[in-house]
C-alpha cells in the first residue's frame, strides 16, 4: 500500500505541477470570481447523498465529500463514483469517525489506510484532504497523516433541533470569497437537502462559483500546508504593495503566556497613523494558528483596551494584516493608534515562532523618492526629518523609510541625506 500510495501521490504532484495546483503563495489567481467550497461529511449513503448530488447537478456545482470508511459498501460506492464523475472531490473523514486525537500513530494510520484503499478502489485516486472527526486534532495526527486538514464554517446541520431555514441562514451568513462550508449528508438528513434548495440559487445569484477544495487552493494560487486546519483559502491581498521597511528579522518563539511578546515586535503608532490606510504588515511565522496584532491601551481598570486583530490573510507560513482592519477596531472604540500604549505582534492561542515582520506600503504611495513623511511632496521638511532621524533625536520617525533610500543600498545613512539635499538643490533631480 505504501508503494502504491507513493506512486499515486507522485503522479498527482506531476499533474498538479502542470495544472497549477501547487503554486507559490501570493501567485495571481486564475480568476477574480467569488469562490466557495461546499463540503459534506458522514456519507456516503443511497438516500441523502443522491439527493444532494441531484441538487448540485441542477446548479452545475462541484463539492467535496468527506467519507466515513464504515459507510462505504457496494451500493454506496456507486454513489461515490457518481459524485466523482460529476466533478466532485472524494476525501477522507476516517474509518470509524472516532476521536483520533486520543489514538496512537498506528491506530490513526489504520483509520486512514482503510478509507484510502476503499476510495482508490472506486475512483482510482486517493483522498487529497482529511477532515478530523469532531474537528479534534493532535500533533500525533499531524505527524501520522500525510494530507492537509480541512475544517470549515459550520452550517449547524448536524444539530437535531436545526431547521432547514436555520441551516440555510447559517451558510448564507458564513459565505464569503474563499470560504469552506461544512455540511453533512448522513442518512436521513433531510434538512440539509431542503436548505440546499435555498443555498445554491441564492449564492449563485450573489456571484459565487461552487468549487472543490482542491479547486479552491488551485484558483487561489495557494499550496496547502501541513500542521494547519483550513476553514478558508484567502486571496493574497498585498500584490499592489511594496516593502517600506523591515521591522523584525530573527527568530522569536513563545506561547500565549510568554511575557516577551510585550516588548519584542512593537509597531510605531505615529508611523501607522501617518500612513493611514496605505500600509500592510506581513509576517513570516511557524505555528498551527496565525499571529495577531494586539492593540493595547492601559490607563486604569476602567479605561483599558486589549484587542487582538486577526490577519486578513494567512497560509500557514505567511500572514498579512491590512490597515483597514486595524482602523476598524480603533474606530469602534473611538481611538487612534497614538492612543495605544503598545501595538504588538504575538501569538493568541498556540506556540509560535516569528522570523520576520515587514511594513509594506501601497505601490504608488512610496513612489516619490525623498518623501519620507508621506505628505505627497518632496520638500525641505523631508530632509529635516531625515537628518533628525539619523541623529536619533527622540520622537522623530519616518513614515516611509523606503523613500529615503536614494542610494539605493537597502540602508539609510549620511549618503542618502547628501543625495536628498542635492536633489532639493537641483529642483528634485539627482542626476
Report which secondary-structure segment, H or E, holds 128.
none
Distance (Å, whole) CA 16 – CA 125 = 14
**41, 42, 371, 416: which one is catalytic?**
41
Residue linked to cell 482508490: 120
State the residue for C-alpha cell 511594513.
Answer: 359
Please compute, for residue 119, the number of CA atoms within 13 A of its CA located in the half-sphere on the CB side.
Answer: 30
How far apart (Å, rounded) are the C-alpha atoms in residues 59 and 204? 8
Tell me, yes or no, if 177 is annotated catalytic: no
Residue 328: exposure state from Cβ atoms within 10 A (0-12, 13-18, ≥19): exposed
SS3 content of the chain, % helix, strand, coil (to 5): 35, 20, 40
CA distance 81 to 53: 11
One of 62, 93, 97, 184 is an active-site residue; which one? 184
266, 342 contact by CB (below 8 A):
yes
What residues contact 354, with CB distance under 8 A and at least 6 apart?
A: 248, 251, 252, 253, 265, 283, 284, 285, 291, 345
Residue whose C-alpha cell is 480603533? 330
Phi-psi region of 361 (alpha: psi -120 to 50; beta: other; left: phi over 0): beta
Is residue 62 part of the annotated active site? The answer reads no
Catalytic residues: 41, 184
Amino acid at each position: 500500500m505504501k508503494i502504491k500510495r507513493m506512486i499515486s501521490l507522485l503522479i498527482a504532484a506531476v499533474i498538479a505541477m502542470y495544472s497549477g495546483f501547487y503554486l507559490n503563495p501570493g501567485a495571481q489567481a486564475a480568476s477574480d470570481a467569488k469562490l466557495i467550497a461546499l463540503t459534506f461529511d458522514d456519507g456516503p449513503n443511497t438516500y441523502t447523498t443522491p439527493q444532494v448530488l441531484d441538487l448540485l447537478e441542477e446548479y452545475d456545482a462541484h463539492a467535496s465529500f468527506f467519507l466515513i470508511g464504515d459507510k462505504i459498501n457496494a451500493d454506496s460506492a456507486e454513489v461515490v463514483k457518481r459524485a466523482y464523475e460529476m466533478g466532485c472531490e472524494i476525501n477522507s473523514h476516517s474509518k470509524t469517525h472516532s476521536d483520533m486525537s486520543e489514538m496512537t500513530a498506528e491506530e490513526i494510520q489504520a483509520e486512514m489506510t482503510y478509507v484510502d484503499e476503499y476510495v482508490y478502489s472506486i475512483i482510482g485516486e486517493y483522498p487529497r484532504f482529511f477532515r478530523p472527526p469532531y474537528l479534534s486534532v493532535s500533533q500525533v495526527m499531524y505527524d501520522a497523516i500525510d494530507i492537509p486538514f480541512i475544517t470549515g464554517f459550520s452550517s449547524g446541520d448536524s444539530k437535531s433541533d436545526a431547521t432547514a431555514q436555520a441551516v440555510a441562514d447559517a451558510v448564507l451568513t458564513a459565505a464569503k470569497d474563499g470560504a469552506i462550508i461544512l455540511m453533512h449528508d448522513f442518512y436521513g438528513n433531510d434538512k440539509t437537502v431542503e436548505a440546499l434548495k435555498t443555498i445554491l440559487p441564492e449564492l449563485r445569484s450573489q456571484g459565487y462559483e461552487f468549487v472543490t477544495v482542491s479547486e479552491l487552493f488551485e484558483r487561489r494560487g495557494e499550496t496547502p500546508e501541513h500542521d494547519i486546519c483550513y476553514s478558508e483559502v484567502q486571496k493574497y491581498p498585498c500584490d499592489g504593495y511594496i516593502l517600506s521597511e523591515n521591522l523584525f528579522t530573527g527568530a522569536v518563539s513563545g506561547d500565549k503566556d510568554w511575557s516577551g511578546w510585550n516588548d519584542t515586535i512593537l509597531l510605531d503608532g505615529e508611523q501607522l497613523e501617518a500612513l493611514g490606510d496605505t500600509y500592510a504588515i506581513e509576517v513570516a511565522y511557524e505555528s498551527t494558528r496565525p499571529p495577531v496584532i494586539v492593540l493595547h491601551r492601559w490607563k486604569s481598570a476602567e479605561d483599558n483596551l486589549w484587542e487582538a486583530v486577526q490577519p486578513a490573510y494567512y497560509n500557514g507560513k505567511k500572514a498579512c494584516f491590512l490597515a483597514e482592519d486595524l482602523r476598524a477596531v480603533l474606530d469602534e472604540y473611538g481611538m487612534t493608534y497614538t492612543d495605544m500604549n503598545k501595538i504588538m505582534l504575538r501569538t493568541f492561542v498556540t506556540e509560535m515562532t516569528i522570523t520576520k515582520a515587514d511594513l509594506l506600503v501601497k505601490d504608488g504611495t512610496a513612489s516619490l523618492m525623498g518623501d519620507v513623511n508621506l505628505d505627497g511632496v518632496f520638500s525641505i521638511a523631508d530632509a529635516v526629518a531625515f537628518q533628525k532621524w539619523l541623529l536619533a533625536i527622540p520622537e522623530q520617525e519616518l513614515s516611509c523609510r523606503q523613500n529615503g533610500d536614494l542610494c539605493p543600498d537597502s540602508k539609510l545613512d549620511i549618503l542618502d541625506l547628501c543625495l536628498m539635499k542635492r536633489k532639493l538643490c537641483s529642483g528634485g533631480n539627482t542626476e
